[in-house]
Amino acid sequence: MHFLRNRHFLLADLLLLPLAVYLAFVFRLDSFNVTPYWASLAYYLPLTLALLFLVFRSRGLYARYWQFASVGDLMLLLESIGLAWLATSIIIVGVRLFAASALVVPYSVLPISLLTVLAATAGPRLLARVWQQRDKHSTAVAGKATVIIGAGSAGVMILRELSENPQVGLTVVGFVDDAPTKQGIRIHGVPVLGDRKALRRLARTYGIHHAVIAMPTAPGREIRQIRQLCEAAGIEAQIIPGMYELLGGKVRVNQLRTVQIEDLLRREPVRTDVSAVAALLQGRRVLVTGGGGSIGSELCRQILRCGPAELIVLGHGENSVFSIQNELDAIRKAEGLLDSVVSAVIADVRFLDRIKIVFEQMQPEIVFHAAAHKHVPLMELNPAEAVINNVIGTRNVLDASYAVGVERFVMISTDKAVNPTSVMGASKRAAEMLVLQMAGRTGKPYVAVRFGNVLGSRGSVIHTFNAQIARGGPVTVTDPEMRRYFMTIPEAVQLVLQAAELGHGGEIFVLDMGEPVRIVDLARDVIELSGLEVGHDIDIAFSGLRPGEKLYEELFIPGEEYRRTRHEKIFIAANASLLVDASLDGTVHLLKLAAERDDRAGIVLAFRSLIPEYTPIPQGAPKRPALVVQVAGSPAMEMAFELGKGN
């Protein structure tokens, strides 16, 4: 029935609706002879048809593709018929009550006509939909026997997508779901066959070779277990995107892909107050430094979707800035964000005069400072660059912000700034102090946000592991006990934006990243997701800690008093500004002079003066946390944070 068009449905209505009204009188009189009411039929019929066609046209019923009708289309049809019937009934009742007329329509004809009209209009349209499905199934080829894991709304959507697209080559034989109330039921004719523990038996019984994990909000431990069960049953597993990918706007729930490392590290989805963040950014001029980087580019994507008046992407790498500018322009057009202007600026935060000119020209109202050097071992070899870019660069952006009256400033910091053992960590701690100092100077919400390693960012350990696997191994891990906190890029950025909305000035925000992950476990997961076996195809080798690295990252500085914010995943150190050293300006000046001379000893000495807990450690001498503090109150879990006492 691909040939059917709306003009054919209009013709069907013209033919069937008069018959439907006539049949209403027939059913009322229990006779095909309606001569006694011929006059009443003669004015009731055109009235009914006129109102029906008027409502149908106004509600766009002749502008729909009924071969692919949905429940929403059917509801619109029912509402339209009901509206026209109600108007007709009011007119008929009004005529009988208030007008002296011989043209009397029996009241019982009204409900009967509602049913006959419904049959006459809905029948052809539903027939077209049913025939479309029949035609599709008759031409479909048998695909891989597939089970959908998760019989919720996402699973039902996947079932519908696979049913309507047989060319994908997947034939759904059933659902798998752990909910006892769903066992044995059918969803759109497809049975729930059992729970996840039955996968091996189901694979043998039904010849299942493929599974789709339709659980976008499931935490990583569940995805890991399901993947292991699928692998043990000889089932190839795909997955729909996680909640953060969906919120990031890059993917849709009906897109399938192989299980990735991000899926195994998922946590319960964070509930972000999107409306509050949008209210903060909408109609404002927002500038992002480091806008071409991993975090900066995702910040730009999510900020753009909040509808700023202008988004200023500032970076010193022309290729990365060019790339994100093109992507943002495409998002603007695709999502109708044409009122938001995207401006790209090539500038380096290390040069104060250039940054001041940019700020004077652009007049940003909100600044997200993401530009930084972040690689620990590399900054140990180039401490001068860490100082100039991370410390002096931050001071330059702050000075430019102060000069033009920036209303809100958010610096992206790191857990490596806590009890630092590396030049990179020390430089970020110094940058935090500069932000806190400027908050006191301006009285405005200038804040810093700390989080840990970001999966998928440039230089991420995942990229290193994948490259090593591609070369045939081994995969190198520094120490079997090394642990790190991990977040996905969209997750980190959503919480940064939320923290920006929560800030009042002079605070440091710490994001709840769940439990730290052993790097060796991460390496094993990456190898297995590549379809290889640890020890057989790829070895894991331990190389020892590199300069500046420690076994465990820490989140809190001694003396900072943390409490939960109204957002369950964000902590705040409201007293952070009280810990800023009074000699900050003088020490930063000494750091700058030492960096200009590439004086490594002078840089370390200045950092140790400014940050007493900064303790450089030689290679192979891990710094272990001295104290574990419990922070209670999370509805999801108790968070354990390792706190060093300093050395």
348 C-beta neighbours (distance < 10 Å), count: 17
**What's the token pair of residue 530?**
């590549």
Amino acid at 624: R
User: Is the omega angle on the peptide bond into residue 635 within 30 degrees of 0, that is, cis?
Assistant: no
- 3-class DSSP state for residue 643? strand
| Residue 549 near residue 478, CB atoms below 8 Å | yes
Q: Specify whether the CB–CB gap between 462 and 526 falls below 8 A.
A: yes
Q: How far apart are CA 375 and CA 386, in angstroms?
A: 10
- Count CB-CB contacts under 10 A for residue 229: 20
CA–CA separation, 118 and 116 (whole Å): 5
**Span between the terminal Cα atoms of the chain, in Å:** 79
Q: How many CA atoms lie within 13 A of 78 on its CB side?
A: 7
Structure tokens at 147: 């089970």
416 in catalytic set: yes
Helix (H) or strand (E) holding 312: strand 310-315
The single-letter DSSP state of residue 452 is: -
In this structure, what token pair is assigned to residue 231? Answer: 């692998």
- Apex CA 355: angle with CA 352 and CA 360, to 5°? 120
Cα(546)–Cα(586) distance, integer angstroms = 31
Written as six digits, the tokens of 583 are 């000699």
Q: Which helix (H) or strand (E) holds 628?
A: strand 627-631
Q: Is residue 364 within 8 Å of 407, Cβ to Cβ?
A: no
3-state DSSP of 77-114: HHHHHHHHHHHHHHHHHHHHHHCCCCCCCCCCHHHHHH
346 sits in which H/E element = strand 341-346
β-strand 236-239 against 257-258: which pairing, if any?
antiparallel
Q: Measured between alpha carbons, how far is 494 from 471 in angstroms, rounded to an integer?
A: 35
Q: Which structure tokens are listed for 5?
A: 């068009």
Q: Pick the catalytic residue: 182, 374, 416, 550? A: 416
Catalytic residues: 416
